[in-house]
Amino acid sequence: MSETRPTPTRRLPTAGRPVPGSTYRLQLGADLTLDDAAARVPYLASLGVTHVYLSPILRAAPGSTHGYDVVDHDEIAPELGGLPALRRLATVAHDAGLGLVLDIVPNHMAVPTPVWHNRALWSVLAEGSDSPYAAWFDVDWSAGDGAVLMPVLGDRIGAVLGRDELALDEVEIPGEGTRTVLRYHDHVFPVRPGTESLALAELVERQHYRLAYWRVADEELNYRRFFDVGTLLAIRVEDPVVFDATHALVLSLLADGTIDGLRIDHPDGLADPAGYLARLREASGGAWVVVEKILEGTETLPPDWETAGSTGYEALWRIQETFVDPGGAAVLGAVMHRLTGDTSDAFPAMAEQAKREIVDGPLYAEVHRLTSLAADICRDDLRLRDHTWRALEDCLIELLVAFDRYRAYVVPGEPVHPESLEVMQTAATHARARLSAERGATMDVVVDLLLGREVGSAGRTRGARRDELIVRFQQTCGAVMAKGVEDTAFYRWTHLTGLCEVGGAPEQFALTPTDLSAWAAQVQVSAPLGMTTLSTHDTKRGEDTRARLGVLSELPREWSALVDDLRAASAPYRSALLDGRTEYLLWQTLAGTWTDEGPIAEDRLVEYLTKAIREAKNRTTWTAPDEPYESAVLDAARQALVDPTVSELFSGWELRTRAAVRAATLGTKLVQLTLPGIPDVYQGSEVPNPVLVDPDNRRPVPLEPLVARLARLDDGAGPRDLADEKLLVTSRALRLRRSAPEAFVGPDSGFLPLAHSSGHSLTYARTVEGHARVAVVATRLAAAVDRLGGWADHTVALPDGDWHDVLTDRPVTGGVVDVGPLLDRLPVALLVRAEG
């Protein structure tokens, strides 16, 4: 039962500020402008959402497909229609009773081509540390001879000069007129006044930036970037001036009611996430704000963060794993071992190895900077001087690899929270086990420095370099986790690929309904207005793809036999270059995307596999593609798609699993829409849409078929297929949330697990002042139910009274109810207490 403790005020918007009941995410771009979004409002209002959730809308780099590469915080992207189009969308939405939520990016700006599109960065490159924007960017002006590294060259600078690829040019710069620039193909850079007549080599050396070979960025970098993306330059929103300048437009849109709330992209990249959120709360008047925070395992949001909650990845993996059969783990592990050689308990070691590769490769520049800071601190303190560069680097690397989450949230000059202390000490214990005993004393020094403790000469706890070391280590932790685990290990692990999701815990494999209910009850108290989700623009697979993959766990022996048959059929065209991990990824990808209409389109499969194998970095990478290997992988995939035997095998599998897929698809959706939190429906996911990682999941979603399908259901037609059923479940759950907000987002709403006799049913109620108002019943592991001959005499204990199932439009009497008759039409039920 929900606890009676009050929700922390930090998790609640200021009284009177709008709170969404649900959101619908739109991916804006050239094919979906703000006016196009306005045209979708009538459908979204009919669907039942309360808020339209917009991807970033500020001016982005030329050709941006996502909006996260912002170049101007003062302008709505002209490609989307600009501010007038946003005003039109707001008017249409408000007239339909909907609000707007906006995704914003405080952590970084783009290094566009050409750079002058980012006026602030152009000024810094032109004037160096004297630029009025110099404080905007997280640049170490003491490194690189005070020149900002611009790693854009396709070869080393000497070779580029030798081939005369650099030249002076005259171009028209908006707002500046005609200007002399230094050109490198499509790249243009400002020329420092007074250097125009110098010899080219000397001119290049005299600029406030250093042109360099693009590979240099992995080893020498004097600015902080977004993970390892050199074209995304971090900005210093911890500076109040920078915060005010970069948030003025967004805050004005909140103030005048154009938008109601914000989603904050990657706050872990900021120097002080808690400080940023506190400033944002004050500046926004306590608006509803959620954060894209990856919570690892049992980690919870830092208690001092002023936010309603996260964007819901911790809900995503928990819901999904509740619909995975733990009994399938061993057999699926055996299949993985047979194809790949990986054992079922190998994921932690795989993740550690991947993090080591990232630390030693793409993020070495960040590690080098940390080591430099630590070495400078030790060099300047007689009592620390004998801790060598190499010893410090060894300790920092092992700590980064040992960290099991994105950061520990130590703030210079502030007391260390007990949880942060525990996280740091646990990582240090693991790190010490990987080091020689002689490194122990250095590890003690490093940990003390990272915790802001007195170490070395008496009284030394603060200082610019000590503070910077603390902050940069926190920021680097997140990059190592994201690139090492999310973007490398998750593409290598094939036990059940659907578990390898952003924020996921694939080593957990499965959860029970009790596990999910316990977590939901805790969330109802700690962050009832945070988001829940099943699909986002960043998920590695859409919810329907993962639902199909989850069924593998329900029929593991049948899947094992199918894999053997697929391997036999494909043997003639499977090259010896095709490794077991990638082959098994191919078969699971086809299983996750094969519908009654057949397989995924070839171009989508090829694009996905290319990205997946390059992210895995086993044999090929983005920066060093192995063409023979990639050809072997893609040729095998193409031939599998047209192989009649493979088609027959997967068509048979799709038919065999259809009922289980139906139950998982509808069950996960209904649960996500009714658990504590604000549910987001990602564009197109209101009907089955088995998509893969971006850009596949960001493809345009046709509107007219959805409008027609919903209208048909609203006219009284029964659902004809799974698409109708999922749309029915989604629309009825959303409409119920909108008509009875007190049961879902009201201050007296609650969550109450309901007793049931079968582990294959998931049951709970949403309450108001402790009284059940809504009840949910969902089938989990339908294949097992079928194998057992149906529900037999299993029951669920509904609260007494009269109920109405809004999905099947029929009455249900409370009490101990047989599950079979309740779920005879759909594998889920959504019950509302009858009036009176």
Locate all alpha helices (DSSP H) within 413-537, ordered by sequence: 418-432, 440-450, 464-481, 490-492, 513-526
pLDDT digits (tens, 9 = 90+) for 513-569: 999 999 999 999 999 999 999 999 999 999 999 999 999 999 999 999 999 999 999
Which are the contacts of 515, defined by CB distance < 8 A and separation ≥ 6? 318, 322
Place of tokens 């031939």: 639
- Average pLDDT of the chain is 96
CA distance 399 to 631: 38
Q: Where are the beta strands (DSSP E) in 192-287?
A: 209-213, 225-226, 229-234, 261-264
404-431: b (≥16 Cβ within 10 Å) or e:
bbbbbbbbbeeebbeebeebbeebbebb
pLDDT digits (tens, 9 = 90+) for 307-366: 999 999 999 999 999 999 999 999 999 999 999 999 999 999 999 999 999 999 999 999
Place of tokens 């983005």: 622
Q: Check residue 601 and give its pLDDT.
A: 98
Mean per-residue pLDDT, 584-604: 98
Of 504, 509, 501, nearest in space to 323 by CA:
509
The residue type of 62 is: P
pLDDT of residue 2 exceeding 50, the answer is: no
CA distance 473 to 407: 8
Confidence at 230, pLDDT banded by 50, 70, 90: confident
pLDDT digits (tens, 9 = 90+) for 13-46: 999 999 999 999 999 999 999 999 999 999 999 9
Q: Is 769 left (phi over 0), alpha (psi -120 to 50) or beta?
A: left
612-635: b (≥16 Cβ within 10 Å) or e:
bbbbbbbbbeeeeebeebbebbbb
CA distance 798 to 800: 6
CATH tag, 9-106+237-311: 3.20.20.80
DSSP reduced 3-state for 532: strand
For the chain, where do the domains classified as CATH 3.20.20.80 start and end? 9-106+237-311
Q: Check residue 4 and give its pLDDT.
A: 56
Which are the contacts of 506, defined by CB distance < 8 A and separation ≥ 6? 347, 490, 493, 495, 496, 499, 500
Q: Check residue 140 and give its pLDDT.
A: 82
Mean per-residue pLDDT, 116-125: 96
Beta strand 177-184 with 166-173 is: antiparallel
pLDDT digits (tens, 9 = 90+) for 462-483: 999 999 999 999 999 999 999 9
CA distance 99 to 44: 11
CA distance 516 to 508: 13
pLDDT of residue 450 exceeding 70, the answer is: yes
Mean per-residue pLDDT, 398-410: 96
**Residue 556, class by beta-carbon neighbours within 10 Å (0-12 exposed, 13-18 middle, 19+ buried)?**
buried
Q: Is 301 in contact with 309 (CB distance < 8 Å)?
A: yes
Q: What percent of the chain has pLDDT over 70?
A: 99
The two tokens of residue 595 are 């519908």
Three-state SS sequence of 555-574: CHHHHHHHHHHHHHHHHHHC
CA distance 385 to 378: 5
Angle between helix 82-95 and 34-47 (nearest 10): 10
Beta strand 51-54 with 209-213 is: unpaired
pLDDT of residue 3 exceeding 50, the answer is: no
pLDDT digits (tens, 9 = 90+) for 488-501: 999 999 999 999 99
Mean per-residue pLDDT, 43-68: 97
Confidence at 636, pLDDT banded by 50, 70, 90: very high
Q: Check residue 143 and give its pLDDT.
A: 65
pLDDT digits (tens, 9 = 90+) for 235-290: 999 999 999 999 999 999 999 999 999 999 999 999 999 999 999 999 999 999 99
CA distance 677 to 315: 9
Place of tokens 């050239």: 30
Q: Is 671 in contact with 32 (CB distance < 8 Å)?
A: no
**How far is residue 654 from each of residues 552, 599, 644, measured CA to CA in Å?**
11, 10, 15
DSSP reduced 3-state for 316: helix
Beta strand 108-110 with 58-60 is: unpaired
pLDDT of residue 1 exceeding 60, the answer is: no
Confidence at 645, pLDDT banded by 50, 70, 90: very high
For the chain, where do the domains classified as CATH 3.30.1590.10 start and end? 115-234
Q: Of the given ranges (416-420, 542-546, 751-755), which has the lowest mean pLDDT?
A: 416-420
Mean per-residue pLDDT, 202-209: 95
| Residues β-bridged to residue 223 | 139
Which are the contacts of 315, defined by CB distance < 8 A and separation ≥ 6? 523, 531, 532, 533, 672, 675, 677
Q: Check residue 144 and give its pLDDT.
A: 61
Q: What percent of the chain has pLDDT over 90?
A: 94
Q: Looking at domain 115-234, which of 3.30.1590.10, 1.10.3720.10, 3.40.190.10, 1.20.1250.20 is its CATH number? A: 3.30.1590.10
**How far is residue 283 from each of residues 10, 12, 244, 255, 276, measured CA to CA in Å?**
15, 15, 9, 9, 10
